[in-house]
Amino acid sequence: MKIVDDSPPVLSALDRPNSYIGRSVPRPNLARLTQGRGQYISDVVLPRMAHVAFVRSPHAHARIKKIDAAKAKKSPGVIAVVTGPEFTKVMTPWVGVLTHLKGIKSAPQYPIATERACWQGEAVCAVVARTRAEAEDGCELVEVTYEALKAVTDPETALDKATPVIHPDLGDNLCFERSLDAGAVDKAFAESDAIVETTFVFGRHTGVTNEPRAVVADWNPGEQRMTVYHGTQAPHMMQNLFAKHLALQEHQVRVLTKDVGGSFGIKVHTYADEMATVALSKLLKRPVKFVADRIESFVTDIHARDHRVKAKLGVKKDGTFTAFEIDDLTGIGPYSVYPRTSGIEANQIVNLTGGPYKCPNYRARARVVFQNKNVMCQYRAVGHPIACAVTEGLVELAAAKIGMDPLEIRRRNLIADDAYPTGSASGLKFEQLSHHEALAHLDAMMNYAGLRAEQAKLREKGIYRGIGFASFIEVTNPSAAFYGVGGARITSQDGATVKLDATGAISIHSGVTEQGQGAEAVMAQCVASAFGVPLDKVRVVTGDTDNVPYGGGTWASRAAGIGGEAAWQAGKALRQNVLAVAGSILQAKPEDLDIRGGIVVDKSTGTERLPLDELARVAYFRPDTLPPGFQAELMATRHYVPRAWPFAFTNGIQASYLEVDTDTGFVKLLKHWCVEDCGTIINPQLVDEQVRGGVVQGLGGALFEQCLYDERGQMLNGNMADYLVPMAVEMPDIEVGHVVSPTADSELGAKGAGEAGTAGAPGCVMNAINDALRPLGAKPLTDMPFTPGKILLALGRV
């Protein structure tokens, strides 16, 4: 892969003399991680630490009649065997609902199943031993007597009267329903020249993090404090939840993340087995470690994307869209996941469908139902790949139906670049997007006309290539509108504390977290630029609730846009503080001075006046030489939360070029392009790699990944051989281009970039496959992933 279109730095107020904004600097943690010197939770070893393994239900739905642990308790190394009822002594259950998702309901969930197992893989008994191997030996000796119950697996029949209700107290299997009706939809359809209507199906998939979920909990009865080493995206959120359900005060809980080996949204939720591990430490008064193995990960890490969307679009002969209508149905497992709920993905689909286009008529319904499969919740680009594929799939079907070029139909309907601020039919508010500029950029970058010519020529030789597009919008920089207003203690603000040490170097403590995506590099760039030191004078500390400002962590593409702004402001504040010290030492006005490259200089001439190490020496060791009454303040904290807009929307467009082998149904991805607009680009390389990584996850969903279940609720491919993650050999070159529309809500102007790739890639590939097969008269493919079998079926070959 090559970086073709690195954006040049934008000249703005951010361009301080030694600015790192807009530069591809290496991450501060690079050497440590590549030399194998990182410390992941899996690496944490504490004195007297025990390991827990879980006996997991082989049934999708079963009553636990009896658990005989006698043999397991005698197994070598086993310390304790703990069943559901014992956990209730130290931990309260939780319910995954939010007040702003009107009517959402769920049942209380416990650390491990107490009387019923509701999915295959749910823990029913915990075995704690000296080693993980001994804990697993113990698990094999636990005898569980189950009474198998009927499993509810098909969302289509989950609400039928004849279907058993999974949680009888809830009355039915409906978790959440939302309807929306904007404009005059029926009238608009009636006035359309053509209507396209189809059903899109999205496979269930999961995040497959490089490092599995991991936690080490250490209850110290002497201190009455719980320290949790936790591979999480949101340490303060987890601090709150551990405290709440262990009946502790928040200050009695400390969460440390250490290095986290990838998260993709998987590690921002409450997992019953992790809660159980923390409860076990309290029960046993010793450190307890749990590291999910790969087999456990497949049946317990949250799944996502399992949606069926019936969708309809009306269009005029001139290409004008008249109305969108969707009906979404999704099965989310037996519990709404705590605390973000499992209603958000469907809610996002309702919010985002049709989002890039000016079309006031929009009707949507989404239903979220319970079922006896592993739980579903938020995973990278929540709802976006679905809303985008539905919208863009309809757009290209409509273009084909009225015989219009797919880029042209978009040009005629995308919201104009000078129409902002504006909003969508679903009520989203857009500050400034750049759909048309992005489209024009993509058109040129991919040489669209040239590709069409090549495609036509090859068709004559029986080679079927396709070109597909997907315009998209992406939710980033969420304000309190996402979770806070719904009653969840998930903060949308973030903080940064910057301090000058006694040698003139600085450290920043930030509330965002590093998952491998490079957030620490961005924090270092922001603070080094705002304060005025070389990058190697900056140390970044994240992931420790005892030491970093209260913050939200990493999710919804917020780390750079929100955490970065806090770091920028804290760096500026410290600069003012340090210049006050410099002014008093140099007998100069602070406003005539600046800090550049770690040296206090004359602002106008750049003449060097005082190195920071000398300033720090005076401030810390000879404050007696400073004027009477002057106190140096060499630490500054700033917080930031988006206020003017609920979300900083980003936008862009992707294109896929691929070849379908019509004999085998295999798809070869030839090339992929993405032009996106994430506002100010702090680190072009990190942005491009976020886009590429995101595209690859989207391509996985389009072609490879799917958690397959049988009708009894058994997962059929829960291992790395049968669950196909996208691999490098099958991936195309991905060219990335940028348009830059900074958000005016922050000084930095950065929006998020973490999910744009994932949002657009699946729809784009779907459109390209259908473009390739259209001359063969194949029925459009709308059921992801597009396996060779499905393509052969569409071609009538099998």
Partner 1 sequence: MKPAPFAYAKPRTLKEAIALLGKHKDNAKLLAGGQSLIATLNMRLSAPTLLIDLNGLKGLDRIARKGAKVEIGALARHVDVERSDVIAQYAPLIARAMPHIGHPAIRNRGTFGGSIAFADPAAELPACLLALDGEIEITGPKGKRTVKAETFFKGLFETAIGPRDVLTAIRVPAAAKDNRYGFSELSRRHGDYAIVGLAASARTTSKGLADVRLAFFGVDATPLRARKAETALTGGTIDDKRLNAAVAALDLDPSDDVQATAAVKKHLAGVLLKRVARQLLETRT
User: Which residues of the chain form contacts with partner 1 (CB under 8 A)?
Assistant: 131-133, 136-137, 140, 293-295, 663-666, 704, 708, 716-717, 721-722, 724, 726-727, 729-730, 787-789, 792, 797-798
Cα–Cα distance measured from residue 633 to residue 533, given in angstroms and rounded to the nearest whole number: 18
Q: Peptide bond before 785: cis, by omega within 30 degrees of 0? A: yes
Q: Enter the tokens of residue 400.
A: 């084909």
Which residues are paired to 500 by β-bridges?
Answer: 506
Which residues are paired to 3 by β-bridges?
Answer: none
The backbone torsions φ and ψ at residue 84, rounded to the nearest 5 degrees and listed phi first, read -50, -55
- E-strand ranges in 263-306 read 288-291, 303-304
Smallest separation (angstroms) from partner 1 to the CB of 720: 10
The radius of gyration of the chain's CA atoms, rounded to the nearest angstrom, is 27
Q: Choose between 28 and 726: whose C-beta lies nearer to partner 1.
A: 726
Q: Choose between 291 and 523: whose C-beta lies nearer to partner 1.
A: 291
Residue indicated by tokens 């301090």 = 499
Smallest separation (angstroms) from partner 1 to the CB of 661: 9
In angstroms, the first-to-last Cα distance of the chain is: 36
Smallest separation (angstroms) from partner 1 to the CB of 734: 18
- E-strand ranges in 118-262 read 123-129, 143-148, 174-182, 194-202, 205-206, 214-220, 225-230, 253-256
Smallest separation (angstroms) from partner 1 to the CB of 135: 8
Q: Choose between 296 and 771: whose C-beta lies nearer to partner 1.
A: 296
Contact of 582 with 610, CB cutoff 8 Å: yes
Q: Choose between 608 and 710: whose C-beta lies nearer to partner 1.
A: 710
Q: Choose between 294 and 622: whose C-beta lies nearer to partner 1.
A: 294
Q: Choose between 421 and 796: whose C-beta lies nearer to partner 1.
A: 796
Smallest separation (angstroms) from partner 1 to the CB of 664: 6
Smallest separation (angstroms) from partner 1 to the CB of 154: 19
Q: Enter the tokens of residue 62.
A: 């079963």
Q: Choose between 13 and 45: whose C-beta lies nearer to partner 1.
A: 45
CA dihedral 742, 745, 747, 749 (to 10 degrees): -20
Cα–Cα distance measured from residue 366 to residue 2, given in angstroms and rounded to the nearest whole number: 41
Q: Choose between 71 and 412: whose C-beta lies nearer to partner 1.
A: 71
Smallest separation (angstroms) from partner 1 to the CB of 290: 13
**Other CB atoms within 10 Å distance of the CB of residue 34:** 10
Q: Select from 33, 767, 776 the least CA-distant residue to 409.
A: 767
At 569, which amino acid appears? Q
Contact of 780 with 505, CB cutoff 8 Å: no
Smallest separation (angstroms) from partner 1 to the CB of 723: 9
Smallest separation (angstroms) from partner 1 to the CB of 726: 8
Q: Choose between 297 and 424: whose C-beta lies nearer to partner 1.
A: 297
Q: Choose between 77 and 611: whose C-beta lies nearer to partner 1.
A: 77
Q: Enter the tokens of residue 718.
A: 């829960």
User: 541: helix, coil or strand?
Assistant: strand
Q: Please write down the long-range contacts of 414-419, taking CB distance under 8 Å and 24 or more positions apart.
A: 414/356, 414/357, 414/358, 414/439, 414/471, 415/356, 415/357, 415/358, 416/358, 419/358
Smallest separation (angstroms) from partner 1 to the CB of 134: 9
User: 425: helix, coil or strand?
Assistant: coil
Smallest separation (angstroms) from partner 1 to the CB of 372: 20
Q: Choose between 131 and 249: whose C-beta lies nearer to partner 1.
A: 131
- E-strand ranges in 319-428 read 321-331, 362-369, 422-423
Smallest separation (angstroms) from partner 1 to the CB of 785: 10
Q: Choose between 17 and 789: whose C-beta lies nearer to partner 1.
A: 789
List Cβ neighbours of 536 (8 Å cut-off, separation of 6 or more): none
Contact of 214 with 292, CB cutoff 8 Å: yes
Cα–Cα distance measured from residue 153 to residue 158, given in angstroms and rounded to the nearest whole number: 7
Smallest separation (angstroms) from partner 1 to the CB of 674: 22
Q: Choose between 401 and 797: whose C-beta lies nearer to partner 1.
A: 797
Cα–Cα distance measured from residue 625 to residue 718, given in angstroms and rounded to the nearest whole number: 68
